[in-house]
Amino acid sequence: MVMLSSLETLPRRQPATVAAIDWTQLALPEARRLRELGFDEGVGVEVLHRATLGGGPIACRIGRMTVALRRRVAASIRVAPGV
């Protein structure tokens, strides 16, 4: 059985695959933005950097793009280790 975690808690530089996104936790504009950026099940993702303040954004790589996500948004994305 694969252990899922949230993108918010994924260790830096650990490749992972998006397993699920809880769209109900997101406002419509946030969900639309994630879809436009290519976030979907099966997509590879990696956390690159976290803001030094606990509530700041998380920079992550999806494909060849680097995007910043609010921690609340990252918490709604479930990931599985490995790509």
Give the total number of structural domains in the chain: 1
Say if CB 22 and CB 76 are below 8 A apart: yes
Q: Which domain holds residue 38?
A: 5-81
With H, G, I as helix, E, B as strand and everything else as coil, classify residue 41.
coil
Enter the tokens of residue 12: 């830096």
DSSP string, 16-37: EEEEEE-GGGS-HHHHHHHHHH
| Domain harbouring 42, CATH code | 2.30.30.90
Give tens-digit pLDDT for 5-50: 999 999 999 999 999 999 999 999 999 999 999 999 999 999 999 9
Q: In whole angstroms, what is the distance from residue 2 CA to residue 67 CA?
A: 26
Say if CB 6 and CB 75 are below 8 A apart: yes
Enter the tokens of residue 44: 């590879």
Is 2 a residue whose pLDDT tops 70?
no
